[in-house]
């Protein structure tokens, strides 16, 4: 075992020789463009991806995720597990061992007290911590000695890699943030703009919503990294402009989130200045079927609630037919190109939780028509279907977005061919996702028959995500239209299985249950009709090496490995 590891290490050293032996700061400056400008470096005070990611260049967690979703050590010697004793047998504690000799960028040592402080900082009762979910279910965090952090959970925690893992729960320097607890947190401008960190870079100049200037951290744990002496992170513009700045004008080396139409992607790539990189996470564009009646004739407060089942969509044959009529490959081709792939799953990744189901990929118009005939919806003289004199008519809503409007037009075409009348509606994204209980147009209220949007889950464990579809999580007037069970799906068997998942510890059993839950929502019931597994798409210049896109952690997770190709 030892020998094998040593050999692997030697091989890796040889493979990465040009980069690994490069001197720190030998490659000059690297320019990064974020189309949304950075407003703060402290991930605890912002839920914006751009702030978390740029902040991750400076502030690091104990461990992170690699591009496959595996947990990798950052400030610790190894990842705790039940086998190495880091996680207790009953799954109620986890113990992290810090790497000895770690220094902050100001030269002071990193200790376990800093981790305890970070926990206190985010869970302070008077502070509004944006990442509080990472610390849910913790009873206490203690420093056993200078290098040992022990987290005790309130109950067994099958997935303990939430606190101090990933860019959204970094370690702050206790000495720097000591006076920034609770309500004082947002007022600590100097600390939030120029945090002292352990990451490969440190802030030299910060202009809010404009530009961040960084320089290599002289005390970074790997003496050969980072290869760049300075980094400039510029903010502003839009996705197309960002892509152009890397792919056409060459002003920038890296651009974040360059989601543009497939043809423009191909055209820009043909220029030969740079490359688009994509990676797939858990973001799925889907159609949600309303299981309750959204008819405007119902009194306010009863519309789209469990009191009235949907007259058409509560029949599974109708839902299945609507799904079968869709050609997902064409949707990908039109809307996303390389940054998307057709999917039938609500949970498309990580691999151990993804169902192998691909039944929905092939379009089957004839089968769908037969299924509707069987369900009693018969085509009339004009080709439109009706049952007992009620015409088959759907209201299909989504947010304003060019790709979504194209999808609406295409899907309306297929459903019309099926004999279903479709009325389209698009709502401004700010309103649709705004969650205002007073607005009739939010996706939670779902005053439509079907709606389309995309959603994903944080981290690598789908349990909380799948638990959104419990009966009691349906939005209704009683809970102020808050709740994640958008379809008002309700199956006691599903609820029981979710409870079983929460109490299951063995990884194999967990993935088995998660796959089952995913299938209950998709191919068994067609309540959720997944369309496209959407990847993250970024662009980098051909002269920038070492870029590995990661959807499980910060996109800049390995910025310390970036180098200039000469």
Where do contacts with another protein occur on this chain (CB under 8 A)?
Answer: 240, 261, 263-264, 267, 296, 327, 329-330, 333-334, 363, 365, 399-400, 402, 405-406, 408-410, 412-414, 417, 423-428, 439-441
Closer residue to another protein, CB minimum distance, 73 or 311: 311
Q: Say how far apart CA 359 and CA 523 lie, in whole Å.
A: 8
Q: Residue 425 or 509: which CB sits closer to another protein?
A: 425
Token reading at 119: 């926990």
Using the minimum distance from each CB to another protein, give the nearer residue, 191 or 323. Answer: 323
How far is Cα 217 from Cα 202, in angstroms, rounded to an integer? 6
Using the minimum distance from each CB to another protein, give the nearer residue, 32 or 243.
Answer: 243
| Least separation in angstroms between CB 399 and another protein | 8
Pair 205, 213: CB distance under 8 Å: yes
For another protein, which is the closer residue by CB, 95 or 265?
265
**Nearer to another protein (CB atom), residue 306 or residue 424:** 424
Tokens representing 504?
A: 């299951």
H/E segment holding residue 390: strand 390-391
**Rounded least distance, CB 297 to another protein, Å:** 9
C-beta of residue 528 within 8 angstroms of C-beta of residue 357: no
Which residue is it, tokens 């969650």?
435
* Least gap, CB of 259 to another protein (angstroms): 11
Nearer to another protein, 352 or 439 (CB): 439
In the complex, the smallest distance separating the C-beta of residue 416 from another protein, rounded to whole angstroms, is 9
Query: In sequence order, which residues have a C-beta less than 8 Å from that of residue 216 and are 6 or more positions away?
Result: 24, 25, 200, 201, 202, 226, 228, 229, 230
CB of 37 vs another protein, minimal distance in Å: 22
Strands (E), 118-229: 138-145, 148-153, 201-207, 211-216
Torsion sign, CA atoms 479, 485, 487, 491: negative
Size (the chain), residues: 566
For residue 222, what are the contacts with CB-CB under 8 A and spacing of at least 6? 560
Least distance in Å: CB of 141 to another protein?
Answer: 46
Tokens of 342: 């057709």
Minimum CB separation of residue 434 from another protein in Å reads: 13
β-pairing verdict for 29-34 and 254-256:
parallel
Residues 85-93: contacts with CB within 8 Å, 24+ apart?
87/160, 90/156, 91/153, 91/156, 91/157, 91/158, 91/160, 91/505, 92/152, 92/153, 92/155, 92/156, 92/157, 93/150, 93/151, 93/152, 93/153
> Residue 9 or residue 413: which is nearer to another protein going by CB?
413
- Contacts of residue 281, Cβ cutoff 8 Å, sequence gap at least 6: 349, 456, 535, 536, 551, 552
Q: Which residue has the tokens 């080709």?
A: 383
Residue 207 vs 425, nearer CB to another protein:
425
Least separation in angstroms between residue 499's CB and another protein is 40
Nearest approach, Cβ of residue 389 and another protein (Å): 19
DSSP symbols for 349-373: -SGGG-----TTSS--HHHHHHHHH
SS3 473: helix
Q: How far is the CB of 412 from another protein (least distance, A)?
A: 6
Q: Report the chain's terminal Cα–Cα distance, integer Å.
A: 37
Find the shortest distance in angstroms from Cβ 447 to another protein: 8
Question: Closer CB to another protein, residue 241 or residue 545?
Answer: 241
Decide whether 69 or 419 has the Cβ nearer to another protein.
419
């Amino acid at each position: 075992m030892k020998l094998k590891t040593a050999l692997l290490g030697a091989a890796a050293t040889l493979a990465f020789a040009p980069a690994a032996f490069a001197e720190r700061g030998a490659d000059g400056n690297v320019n990064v463009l974020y189309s949304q400008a950075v407003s703060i470096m402290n991930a605890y005070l912002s839920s914006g991806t751009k702030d978390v990611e740029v902040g991750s260049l400076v502030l690091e967690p104990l461990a992170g995720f690699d591009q496959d979703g595996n947990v990798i050590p950052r400030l610790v010697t190894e990842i705790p597990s039940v086998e190495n004793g880091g996680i207790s047998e009953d799954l109620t504690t986890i113990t992290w061992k810090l790497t000895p000799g770690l220094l902050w960028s100001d030269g002071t040592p990193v200790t376990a007290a800093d981790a305890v402080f970070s926990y206190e900082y985010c869970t302070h009762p008077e502070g509004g911590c944006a990442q509080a979910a990472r610390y849910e279910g913790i009873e206490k965090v203690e420093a056993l000695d200078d290098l040992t952090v022990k987290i005790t959970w309130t109950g067994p925690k099958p997935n303990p890699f939430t606190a101090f893992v990933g860019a959204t729960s970094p370690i702050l320097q206790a000495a720097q943030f000591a006076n920034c607890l609770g309500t004082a947190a947002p007022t600590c401008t100097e600390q939030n703009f120029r945090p002292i960190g352990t990451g490969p870079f440190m802030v030299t100049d910060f202009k809010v919503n404009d530009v961040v200037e960084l320089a290599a951290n002289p005390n970074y744990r790997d003496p050969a990294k980072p290869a760049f002496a300075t980094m400039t992170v510029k903010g502003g513009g839009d996705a197309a402009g960002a892509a152009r700045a890397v792919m056409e004008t060459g002003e920038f080396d890296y651009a974040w989130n360059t989601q543009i139409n497939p043809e423009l992607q191909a055209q820009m790539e043909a220029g030969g200045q740079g490359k688009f990189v994509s990676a797939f996470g858990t973001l799925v564009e889907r159609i949600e079927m309303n299981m309750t009646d959204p008819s405007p004739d119902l009194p306010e407060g009863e519309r789209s609630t469990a009191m009235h089942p949907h007259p058409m969509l509560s029949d599974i044959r109708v839902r299945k037919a609507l799904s079968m009529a869709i050609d997902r490959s064409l949707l990908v081709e039109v809307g996303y190109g390389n940054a998307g792939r057709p999917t039938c799953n609500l949970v498309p990744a990580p691999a151990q939780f993804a169902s192998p189901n691909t039944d929905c990929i092939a379009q089957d118009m004839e089968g769908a028509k037969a299924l509707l005939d069987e369900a009693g919806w018969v085509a009339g003289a004009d080709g439109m279907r009706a049952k007992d004199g009620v015409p088959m008519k759907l209201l299909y809503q989504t947010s304003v977005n060019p790709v979504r409007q194209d999808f609406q037009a295409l899907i309306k075409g297929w459903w019309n061919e099926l004999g279903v009348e479709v009325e389209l509606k698009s709502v401004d994204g700010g309103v649709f996702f705004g969650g205002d209980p007073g607005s009739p147009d939010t996706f939670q209220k779902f005053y439509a028959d079907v709606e389309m949007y995309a959603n994903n889950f944080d981290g690598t464990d789908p349990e909380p995500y799948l638990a959104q579809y419990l009966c009691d999580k349906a939005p209704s007037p009683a809970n102020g239209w808050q709740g994640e069970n958008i379809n008002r799906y309700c199956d006691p068997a599903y609820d029981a299985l979710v409870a079983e998942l929460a109490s299951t510890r063995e990884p194999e059993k967990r993935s088995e249950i998660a796959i089952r839950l995913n299938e209950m929502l998709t191919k068994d019931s067609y309540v959720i009709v997944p369309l496209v597994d959407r990847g993250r798409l970024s662009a980098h210049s051909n002269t920038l090496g070492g870029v590995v896109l990661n959807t499980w952690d910060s996109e800049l997770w390995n910025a310390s490995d970036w180098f200039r190709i000469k």
